[in-house]
A and B are shown apart, each in its own frame.
Chain A
C-alpha cells in the first residue's frame, strides 16, 4: 500500500476529499492498539476498514488493491455510508457515478447491485429502478456472486 497505492495522486485526492486516514503497524507496540483493533479481528495485512465517526464499520477488506480499484472502493464506501444512514438519493447518485464512470474496476457488479437497492429505496419501492440495475447485473455478470444475487429479479413483482 505504501509503495504504490497510497503515493498515487488520484488516491491522494480521493482520500483528501472525504476520508480521515489512520494507519497502524500490527507488529509494533502502539498506544491505540487496543482501541484500533476493537472493531474486529485483524488476521492479515493490509486490512482496510472504512468506518463512520462513531466507529461503525461501513466496509472491511483484506488485501492490496491498485490505485484505480482503491479509489473506486472509496467512492463505493461513500455511497454505501450514505445508504446506511438513510440518505438514499445521495447513495443512488454515488452508485450511479461508479456505474457510469467505471473503468474496469472489480467493484462494478456490487455497485450495480446497490444501485438497484438505492433506486428502490429512493423511489419509494421503485421496482423499475431495481429491475433495471439487477437485470443488467444478472445479464452482464452471470458468473459473479452479485450477478447471482440479482438473478432473483426474474421473480420480482411487475
Chain B
C-alpha cells in the first residue's frame, strides 16, 4: 500500500513547496 511521502525536515518541506505547491503541516499529539 502506498503511503504519503512525509518530508522529514521542515526546511526541506519549505524548499520543496516553492516548486511543488502548498505545505500540508500536520500536528499530532500521539503518545509514544
Contact = CB atoms under 8 A, between A and B. Distances in A.
Nearest to A33: B10
Interface stretch (A18-26, A118-126, A130-138, A140-148): A18-26
Contact of B22 (A35, A47, A81): A81
Q: Is the interface of A mostly helix, strand, loop or mixed?
A: mixed
Interface string B12-32: 011111101111111111111
The interface size bin for chain A is 35 or more
B3 A6 contact: yes
The interface size bin for chain B is 20 to 34
A10 B5 CA distance: 14
21 contacts: A12-B3, A12-B4, A15-B4, A16-B5, A17-B21, A18-B22, A19-B23, A20-B23, A21-B26, A22-B7, A22-B13, A23-B26, A27-B32, A32-B10, A36-B25, A42-B27, A45-B28, A48-B24, A53-B14, A55-B23, A78-B21
